[in-house]
């Protein structure tokens, strides 16, 4: 009944959402990535769009269709995401960062395909990527609402609270990815909404419903 009761309550709002996984190339045909499907980020795009917002989706590698009627900014690497977000962030009212960003990239990306050397191990050195959410937090505009995600396997609440502060977020959506029905590549999630005021534990719900609950929280915080 979400759409009936919520109506077009986001009309006139510019919402920027990141989704999917970044890819960090080692050569023209190989890369390092993670398990993000893009489902959570795209569910937020669709929910915000259906509630009347102007939505921009910045997305990496995804395994589900890109939503219709949203502005699309495809990216590949964490560095691409950083560049796109530094450009896009200032023009948006609400920013929700659901992308699973690779924390490291391959140190020296090869221009040609790496050849196998029989009997020898291949050693790759990884370099830290920029923390995009932290950088967005550093250029936060007055009145902007910044949200992030924290997919954790242990000390879920403490880790998420630390990220809320470090990245200058207004809201972090934390989930324990070891619990069945939460996390990567499923249609459901079990999350907690954490703000500086406290924690709200949510039951198992479909990602689309969680998207609406997140947007409800955002609208409450904008008041
Ligand atoms: N994030 C980001 N840039 C990065 C890493 C993460 O913008 N280089 C964002 C994610 O999109 C997410 C939030 O920060 O909204 C938390 O991501 P997470 O990987 O849980 O946090 P990290 O700070 O990378 O900490 P760690 O992986 O060590 O737990
Ligand atoms: Ca990380």
DSSP 33: -
Question: How far away, in angstroms, is 160 Cα from ligand 1 center?
Answer: 10
Global confidence as pTM: 0.96
Question: How far away, in angstroms, is 146 Cα from ligand 2 center?
Answer: 17
Ligand 2 is an ion; its neighbours by CB within 5 Å are 103
Measured from CB, residues less than 6 Å from any atom of ligand 1 are 78, 97, 99, 101, 103, 129, 131-133, 148-151, 163
Q: Per residue in 35-75, pLDDT tens?
A: 999 999 999 999 999 999 999 999 999 999 999 999 999 99
* Neighbour-count burial of 120, counting CB atoms closer than 10 A to its CB (0-12 exposed, 13-18 middle, 19+ buried): exposed
Q: Per residue in 164-222, pLDDT tens?
A: 999 999 999 999 888 888 877 788 989 999 999 999 999 999 999 999 999 999 999 99
Of ligand 1's listed atoms, the one at least distance from the Cα of 103 is 8
DSSP 61: B
Residue 153 CA: which ligand is closest? 1
Q: Per residue in 79-91, pLDDT tens?
A: 999 999 999 999 9
Query: What pLDDT band is residue 4 in, cutting at 50, 70 and 90?
Result: low
Question: How far away, in angstroms, is 194 Cα from ligand 2 center?
Answer: 18
Q: Is 168 left (phi over 0), alpha (psi -120 to 50) or beta?
A: left
Helix (H, G, I), strand (E, B) or coil at 108: coil
Query: pLDDT averaged over the chain?
Result: 95
Known catalytic residues are: 34
The β-bridge relationship of strands 54-59 and 14-19 is parallel
């Amino acid at each position: 009944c979400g759409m009936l009761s919520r109506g077009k309550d986001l009309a006139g709002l510019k919402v920027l959402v990141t989704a999917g996984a970044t890819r960090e190339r080692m050569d023209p045909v190989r890369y390092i990535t993670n398990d993000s499907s893009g489902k959570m980020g795209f569910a937020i795009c669709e929910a915000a769009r259906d509630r009347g917002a102007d939505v921009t989706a910045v997305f990496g590698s995804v395994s589900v269709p890109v939503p219709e009627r949203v502005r699309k900014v495809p990216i590949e690497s964490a560095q691409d995401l950083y560049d796109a977000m530094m450009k896009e962030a200032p023009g948006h009212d609400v920013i929700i960062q659901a992308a699973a960003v690779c924390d490291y990239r391959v140190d020296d990306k090869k221009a040609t395909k790496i050849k196998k050397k029989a009997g020898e191990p291949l050693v790759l050195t990884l370099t830290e990527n920029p923390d995009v959410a932290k950088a967005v937090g550093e250029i936060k505009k007055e009145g902007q609402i910044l949200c992030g995600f924290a997919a954790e396997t242990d000390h879920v609440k403490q880790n998420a609270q630390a990220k809320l502060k470090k990245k200058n977020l207004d809201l972090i959506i934390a989930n324990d990815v070891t619990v069945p029905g939460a996390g990567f590549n499923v249609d459901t999630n079990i999350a907690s909404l954490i703000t500086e005021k406290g924690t709200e534990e949510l039951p198992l719900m479909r990602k689309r419903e969680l998207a609406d609950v997140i947007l409800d929280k955002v609208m409450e915080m904008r008041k």
